[in-house]
Structure 1
Amino acid sequence: MNQFLKKFRQDVISIGFLGLGLFLALALVSYNPMDPSLNSMGQGLRSTNYCGIVGSFLADMLYQAMGLAAWVVVACFGKIAYASFKGESLNLKNIRFVWALLLIVNVAALFSLYLPNTKIFQGQIYLGGLLGLGVSQALMQAFNSVGVQVILWSLMAVLVVFYSERTLQELAEIPQGLLADMKKKKFTDKIAAFFSGMFVKEEKTKKSKKDEKAKAAIFPLSDKKFVEKPSEEEEEEDEELEELLAAAEEEDEEETEEDEEESDDEEEEEVPAVRLAQKRKVVMKAKPPRRIENWDMPKLALLEDPPASRIKIDKAEIQRKADSLVEKLKNFSIEGSIQDAKPGPLVTMYEFKPNADVKISKISELEDDLSLALSSESVRVVGHIPGTDVVGIETANLKRETVYYKDLIAEDQFWSEDLALPMAVGRAVDGEPKVVDLRKMPHLLIAGTTGSGKSVFVGSIITGLLFRHSPKTLRLVLIDPKMVDLAPFSTVPHLVLPHVTEPKKAATALKWAVREMEKRYKSLSKFGVGKIEAFNEKTGNLSKADVEEHEKINQELEEGKAKLDQYYYQPLPYIVIVVDELADLMIVEKQNIEEPIQRLTQKARACGIHLILATQSPRKDVVTGLIKTNIPGRVALKVASKMDSRIIIDDSGAERLLPNGDMLFQAPGVGKPTRHHGPYLSDGEIGNVVKHWASQAEPEYDPLAMKALDGFAGGDGGEAGGGDGGGFGEEEYDERYDEILSWASEQKEISASLIQRKFRLGYPRAARMIEIFEKEGVVGPANGSKPRQVLVSSYREQ
């Protein structure tokens, strides 16, 4: 609704200023000095002006004050209406009130300077009005005639450059280009080519001589700003225009066939044209949910609006590089032609079609030579593009476009109900947005050196999850040995644990996740389901009676009374564990880190636990084979070497990426990684989203995990999960822990012998359970041979 009101307000402003401009234009056109006005009584109250007596008064005031410069006011109103219609915010910068006033004064002064005594409308109004006459006379007294002309024309040049948004060089090239084109084509052909370029209609060129070099030509495009998305009305108009263009294409084909029949003597051959992908402007029409149960969800207004001005496509530069590519490859005996050019935010991909006798491997070896020939920071040979007969060659753009996070999540696909854990990857080479579901991946491995944009990308993933999920449906575990990258999220109520920064506590947190996974699988098994979604659907509306009946069916009876374990009958939230930086953890706690990560990546998908692992150093001893095997989703930003690239995506190429968000994304089940430009998200935007959540609630940490983490404060600093430091050591974990703990919480006193008899365990195992309970505060200290006192009243306290 807010988006609709904003668009409605812009439409009202646009229509209002358009109406004002039209009203003034009609009043000025039909002005008669004999009509009633401030300077003339006229003939009664009757007026011949098209806009009545109000129009005659306005026209007289404008003409008397400004002369013919009054028409600049009409033009300014039209400019404001057009800016509002395009969706630009009408602030002082866009309306340009001061600049408009300068333009009016300047035009009026020029009229009065060159024609000071010329009057119009029966000799009653100066050509430049009283304003122009006064300004010109004042300037004449101060600077004389030559000085005034220099000042006024210089100011006029500045105003023209400002309003046209073109440099003087670009303005000077416009008439030269028109004259050159008029010499080559008829006027009607020029108009047809212009409209053809507006709709990116494919055009074919011919050559009449065999020995003439085929030169790829870039089709004319309308100077649209990069990344455009049509509105619904524009889409309907585009459909009608496409039908008209289709009919025109059929006529063109018939004419082409006739031309080919007439030219029997000359062999004409079609030259593939370099086609530029059409860009779309993002219209933020997505409607995120305002409220989920008792939680107010974040709004897009928390994010900053992207700047209105965007980098435009330099068609001449793209054509120059296309020619240079063909020429350089020819020097290495690689013949072919450029079929397509797809400019993106950071790079442009050229689709090169080699001749039949060319090996693709020869092209891949020339990356450095091509980079030198194009004077480009980076050239990457993609290789064969599946489904085509071309090879992709990516070159860095001279001017690079920033992909803003708000643009991405404003897309409808980010809010699709089919995506449980949406992740905005970025924009592809052709400018299309890429949004994937972390739930389906189900884990992600990210690598990138300092300056590659890794931290920003990880932050954007977490922010996206906060936009889609409340603390009831999503819990986060943030492990950050560097202490700064994930610190902004330390106050959101989604956290299971406080922001973990110590390697040993990180190992404990991961082992807690393993225990949580095992508990969740018990919950799923009770209902005979294999995924968390099916479990939540069944347990969403269970009553206490339903739980009791289900326990009876599963024959979990104790002394004739159903043993209620409410944990197994509650809808489960997704848990996303983010680890940044993995290398720091592996150096200190490799064994205690690698093993739980391996278990989680192998089994945690079905029960809704997902890992995101990020590192600056993708070495073999950090990203081990055990970790890589079960993480098919990979993101490689710029890395230091080919070896690092191969470790992450099993192929080279990431070492040739650009900094600040340029990445190769390897999706599960896809043969080759695809190139994308990640979104930019500022610290201020993250802060806005975090404050939105922090103002609603404080984090509710898991009590059992907190006890394990708190054990380090009074422990001896031994291995995580072992010794006196608390935690979830492998030797401490017991698959019947939850069952025994639930029973113990209902007793007043317990002992190892009692556990041994009750659950038919060996004495060492029962004694170890007593030791674990003592460390976690479930039972009191030993008191000789007497049973230990139970310190908790229910399992839920744990």
Structure 2
Amino acid sequence: MGRNSQSRSWDDILGLLFAGVGLLLLISLWSYHPSDPSLNSFGSDIKPLNLCGYWGAIFSDLLFQGFGGGSWVLVFVLFFQSYIFFTRQNEGLDRQLWLFGALGTLLFSCLFALHLGDKTFHQGHTQAGGFLGNMIVAFLLPVFNRVGLAIVLWLCAVAFLSLFSSHRMIEVLSYAGDWAKYMGAGFKESISKSVSFFRERLPRLPEFATEPKIFRRPKEVKEPGPRFFSLSSSEKEEEDFLEDEEESYDDSYDEDEIEEEDEEPTSKLNLSGYLTKKKKETSRRRLRPQMPRKVENWELPKISLLNDPPQGRTRLDEKELKLKSKLLVEKLAQFSVKGEVTGIKPGPAVTMFEFKPNADVKISKITDLADDLSLALSSESVRIVAPIPGRDVVGIETSNSQRETVFLKSIIQDDYFWDEEVKLPITLGRKADGEPRIVDLRKMPHLMVAGSTGSGKSVFVVSLITGLLLRHSPKTLRLVLVDPKQVDLAAFNDIPHLVMPPIIDSKKAVGALRWGIREMEKRYRSMSKFGARGLEAFNDIVSELSKEQIDEHAAFHTELEGPYHPKSYYYEPLPYIVIVVEEFGDLMAVDKVNVEQAVVRLAQMARACGIHLVLAMQSPRKDVVTGLIKTNIPGRASFKVASKMDSRIILDESGAERLLARGDMLFLAPGVSKPERHHGPYLPEEEIQAVVEKWKEQGEPVYDQAAMKAVEGGGTTAPGEPSFDQDDEIKDDRYDEILEYVATQKEVSASLIQRRFRLGYPRAARMIELFESEGVVGPANGSKPRQVLIRELPR
């Protein structure tokens, strides 16, 4: 009796043990994250995201890497073994159960590998069938081929379930058929109920629910990001305005580009607020979007195009780190700086020692000892962060004896890169503690990058563009590339995202910037017309417009001129535009005044309409990074520069001159007082070509003819675009009135004209630009009003 009671107690304990292990394994697999530390990757001081901690991260990584989706069979086996102990159906471990479990794990790994072999999970980190499943399938495929191997594996699966459940095979198939019929009937019933529900309620919708949304102001909600827009089949049939493939698109209105139709618009759109005279019978005009020819959905490049980074990370010797820590404290003590090292954070290229000085030590004494510490620690470079923001310690960064290369794929596998809220992700690399660092260009909203030759600046710019190409199609992102050296950005020639061919002549680059200003103004006119406060809200509104609404609105405004002409509005969803300028210093040397004015205006106003700047330069001199440019571009990154002065110009403090080469960088985020240290990602040439070729296979670029004419003309307005130049026929109807007023003033600004004549700001700003080109007012002087240069009206 005593033995039986003791045996039952042990069965209960073992049942609880296996249930607990099964639960831990279930949670570990469910909360698996590819950035967690594992046996084949080392993360120094990285807190695992796995809910079961470090060991959960290791075991889940081993199972997913080895068996893929078949790993979940082991969870079932553990719970079933626990059930056997609780019900006392067997004494000890059920060997047959564990044999079936091992075979089932391999079997389902092979099934996953066969049917989902090209699929990856966890941001491309794990394969569907794991290493063993893929290896077995690769061995058997030449023997059975895909169809034969599928039949063999599924027969084995049915046999496995039959043996495991102690039922005949015909019973297993019968159960499966009954389950499928039950699920199908339930699905059909739920669909029919949903259809009946909406049929009963749709006719009873109130009138305001069907009111046209063109003039409705959007609700104050968080703006969603751009979507991948595609045409439905009915809409595709109506897109007869597309020309042959040999023609390129143009925004200009010629007679050949207008379709005449006898019928009048039938939409009930209320346009009375825009009309000043009786409606005339007009032809229906269809606007032609400046988009690449391919109008269906684009396929984004897969992350598998990038090579997997080498397995394992460089492990730093713990004894070496402790020795450096001891030498650091001793060397500081020699200069009467006493304290202790409270933390060590190894990173890819540098290690940060957190030093807590005594209360009587001045911070300035520590910052002057960088060169002495570099000598004592035999370090290539030492940088001191005094103090670390929000901490009571000083950060002393020393270079590692063995540097780790940070590959782009290891950064974009982070979930934040694929977050829907992050519209334009920029991969900065890894922080000093090894954590990946990704920022959203849309929120910055512009970036300035500096770095001398060999510092890694050009590699960073290329990886930035490649990361955007992995996230966006030409429907949601367009690029303008300025590359005077004709080398750094040459890999991106002829991709369908380009607005115009890459600009290699610095003299023509100002034309691209001025085109960006006109594009910005046109977008703001369109957003204001539809009551949208941002690009995302505008895209949501216009995506709901019907073709009849667009045609009718255009027909009503063909008689109007100036900024109210229909050519001055957009009626289709707009993509983000990123203007990337390499060798910005060369542009400033060629035409400093015009380049600075264009950059400042874009930096000040272009954020809300989805236009962003990335300016890269070798030497951030004062005549390149002027005060106005620096003020309006708060996001700055610096690789190794030549001097302290260059570092202070780009980052407002020294330190960039002490950086290591090949990707070591400091990043100053908007609103942050101290720059952060990162190690930028490396992207091999073959990976760039793989991503670029994927896009080239899907379509050719269709360049914006107006933009190309603007570049060729050095920024003058292209035909077909609204213009306010002196020799253009289109003039503002209040030009003379405003000119008379300006002649009576000593100083004038766009805001003054806006208030005085009750105009919109874009219109007032254009008048100021026109007056400057005519010599009426002087050039811009920061935020101060412009000086009026005339005292009487010209005759």
Identity %: 58
Residue 761 (structure 1) shift: 6.7
* Paired position in structure 1 for 2:266: none
Name the SS of the counterpart of 2:648 in structure 1: helix
- Give TM-score, length-normalised by structure 1: 0.55
**What's 1:728 paired with?**
715
Letter in 2 for 1:577: I
Q: Which whole-Å deviations, capped at 9, do the CAs of 1:155-213 have from their partners, x for residues lacking one?
A: xxxxxxxxxxxxxxxxxxxxxxxxxxxxxxxxxxxxxxxxxxxxxxxxxxxxxxxxxxx
Deviation at 1:625, TM superposition (A): 1.2
Matches within 5 A, 1:242-641: 294-547=297-550, 558=559, 564-565=566-567, 567-641=569-643
Q: Aligned letter for 2:331?
A: K
> Could you say what secondary structure the match of 1:375 adopts?
coil
Q: Paired residue for 2:683?
A: 681
Select between 565-574 and 601-610 the one with higher mean Cα deviation. Answer: 565-574
CA deviation after TM superposition for structure 1 residue 707, in Å: 2.3
Please name the residue that 1:670 is paired with.
Answer: 672
Q: How far apart are residue 530 of structure 1 and its match?
A: 2.2
- For 2:66, the equivalent position in structure 1 comes to 10
Cα distance between partner residues in 1 of 2:523 and 2:659: 41
Aligned residues: 476
**Offset from partner CA, 1:686-705 (integer Å, 9 cap, x none):** 11100000111111111112
Residue identity matched to 1:10: G
**Matched letter for residue 414 of structure 1:** F
Q: Relative to 1, partners in 2 of residues 1:613 and 1:563: Cα closer, same or farther, differing over 3 Å?
A: closer
Give yes or no for contact 2:314–2:404 (8 Å, CA) kept in 1: yes
Where 2:698 maps in the other structure, the secondary structure is coil
Asked whether the equivalents of residues 228 and 476 of structure 2 are also in contact (C-alpha less than 8 Å), the reply is no
Deviation readout 1:415-467 (Å, 9 max, x if unpaired)? 00110101111111111111110000000000000110000000011001101
Q: Do structure 1's residue 651 and structure 2's residue 658 form an aligned pair?
A: no
Shift in CA distance, 300/5, structure 1 to aligned 2, threshold 3 Å: farther
Secondary structure of 2:628's aligned partner: helix
RMSD of the alignment, in Å?
A: 4.0
Report the alpha carbon displacement of residue 13 of structure 1 after superposing the two structures with TM.
Answer: 11
Structure 1 or 2, whichever has the larger Rg, is: 1
CA distance in 2, matches of 1:753, 1:381: 59
1:302–1:688 Cα contact (<8 Å) kept: yes
Report the Cα offset of residue 753 of structure 1: 11
Cα 1:551–1:364 change in 2 (3 A) is: same
- Give distance in 2, aligned partners of 1:693 and 1:753: 40
Confirm or deny: 8 A CA contact 1:342 1:350 kept in the other structure: yes
Residue number in structure 2 paired with 1:241: none
Alignment of 1:684-695 (within 5 A): 684-695=686-697
Alpha carbons of 1:558 and 1:476: their partners in 2 closer, same or farther (altered >3 Å)? Answer: same
Aligned residues of 2:558 and 2:566 also touching (Cα < 8 A): no
TM-superposed CA distance for 1:536, in Å, is 0.8
Structure 2: how far apart are the matches of 1:616 and 1:349? 27
Counting only pairs closer than 5 Å after superposition, residues 48-59 of structure 1 correspond to structure 2 as none
Aligned residues of 1:403 and 1:680 also touching (Cα < 8 A): yes
Amino acid at match of 2:425: P
* 1:24-73 CA distance string (max 9 Å, x none): xxxxxxxxxxxxxxxxxxxxxxxxxx99xxxxxxxxxxxxxxxxxxxxxx
| CA–CA separation in structure 1 for the residues paired with 2:374 and 2:130 | 40
Residue identity matched to 1:345: P
The answer to whether the 8 A contact 1:328-1:373 is kept is yes
Provide the C-alpha distance between the structure 1 equivalents of 2:302 and 2:718, rounded to a whole number of angstroms. Answer: 43
Q: List gaps (5 residues or longer) in structure 1.
A: 19-49, 52-82, 93-288, 712-725, 742-751, 770-798
User: Partner of 1:686: helix, strand, or coil?
Assistant: helix
Letter in 2 for 1:647: I
Give the 3 Å change call, closer, same or farther, for CA 89–475 of structure 1 in structure 2. Answer: farther
Give the TM-score, by structure 2 length.
0.55
Q: Deviations over 1:505-545 (max 9, x none)?
A: 11111111111111111111101222111111111121134
Measured in 2, the distance between the counterparts of 1:566 and 1:602 equals 21
1:634 is paired with a residue of what secondary structure? strand
Cα 1:85–1:438, aligned 2, differ >3 Å: closer, same or farther? closer
Answer whether contact 1:425 1:679 (CA < 8 A) is retained.
yes
Assess, with a 3 A threshold, how the Cα gap between structure 1 residues 12 and 393 changes in structure 2: closer, same or farther. closer
8 Å Cα contact 1:290-1:296 kept in structure 2 = no
My pick for the range that moved more, 670-679 or 385-394, is: 385-394
Cα distance, 1:559 vs structure 2: 8.8
Give 1:728's aligned amino acid: G
Alignment match, 2:145:
none
User: Which runs of 5 or more structure 2 residues have no equivalent in the other structure?
Assistant: 1-33, 35-59, 75-94, 97-125, 136-226, 231-295, 740-765, 767-795
**For residues 49-88 of structure 1, what are the structure 2 equivalents within 5 Å?**
none
Distance 1:740 1:342, change over 3 A: closer
Aligned partner of residue 613 in structure 1, secondary structure: strand
Secondary structure of the residue that 2:430 maps to in structure 1?
Answer: strand
2:618 maps to a residue whose letter is Q
Q: Aligned partners of 2:661, 2:729: CA distance in 1, in Å?
A: 63
Q: Is the 8 A contact 2:67 2:133 kept in 1?
A: no
1:291–1:297 Cα contact (<8 Å) kept = no
Higher relative contact order (CA 8 A, sep 6+): 2
Letter in 2 for 1:656: R
Tell me the distance in 2 between the aligned counterparts of 1:291 and 1:666: 35
Question: Distance between the aligned counterparts of 2:375 and 2:351, measured in 1?
Answer: 16
How far residue 386 of structure 1 moved from its aligned partner, in angstroms, is 2.4
Name 1:706's counterpart in structure 2: 708
Structure 2 counterpart of 1:738, from 708, 722, 729: 722
CA distance in 1, matches of 2:619, 2:578: 22
1:81-100 matches, cutoff 5 A: none
Q: Retained in 1: the 8 A contact 2:523–2:569?
A: no
Whole-Å separation in 2 of the counterparts to 1:507 and 1:544: 36
* Alignment-mate amino acid for residue 522 of structure 1: R
**Secondary structure of 1:482's aligned partner:** coil
Residues in 2 aligned to 1:12 and 1:592: alpha-carbon distance in whole angstroms:
58
